[in-house]
Structures are given as structure tokens and as C-alpha cells.
Amino acid sequence: MTDYHEKSAAFVINDIITQIVKGGHPKARRLAEDYNSERKGLMETNPNMPLGLTVVEALRGLLEQAYGIQFYASVADMLENVAEHGMSREDAHAVISVADLIRDGNVAISGPNIGNDN
């Protein structure tokens, strides 16, 4: 599994969306489209918002729609919700990793890390 702490927020979020789509969630394709639409809308209406923040804001709505999980829930709460909402263990770990990034303040990255995950 990817060590998300060594990747940029943009990479982590795109990877989560990929996993949700690959996992065959019934609403996956629609959710991915909604995410892209929401992110573009945020960028258009708030041109000065850091890219890292736009992807997190868009992801929060995606995860709440897909799994009914409150994005700023504690790690323990997220783990409890895994079985209830049918989230795969990989998705759960990815969500927790992003929550850790947000909690640690590492997500407001508008600088050189964005897009450099080759």
C-alpha cells in the first residue's frame, strides 16, 4: 500500500478517488464526476484558494456522499464506520491518512509538491 505521508495531498486524494472507482462503489463514477465538478467550481469561484485546500474541500463532500462519514471524525469513529458503510480497508486507511494530513496541517500546500508525484 502507498505510504501517503510521503506524497502530496493532491496525489493522496486522486488515489482515494481511484480506489473508490476501482472498488465498484455503486455511485463511484458519478461521485468522481461530482468531485471534479466541485473542485473546478471551487477554483473558479475562489481563484486565490490554495490547490491543496480545493482538493480537500471537494473530497470531503465525496466521502460523505459515498460512505456517510463525517470527514473530521476521529480515527476511531472512522474505523467503526468501515463495516457499517461497506468501505474497504484500503479506502479506510486512505481516509485516515488524509485526516492525519489535515490534522497535522500538511494539506494547505499550494507550492512545489502539487503534481510532483512521479
Q: What is this structure's pTM?
A: 0.38
**pLDDT tens per residue, range 23-42:** 655 555 666 667 677 778 87
Using an 8 Å Cβ cutoff, are 89 and 82 in contact?
yes
Q: What is the pLDDT of residues 46-87, one digit of tens each?
A: 777 665 556 666 666 666 666 555 544 444 454 455 545 555
Alpha-carbon distance of 84 to 70, in angstroms, equals 13
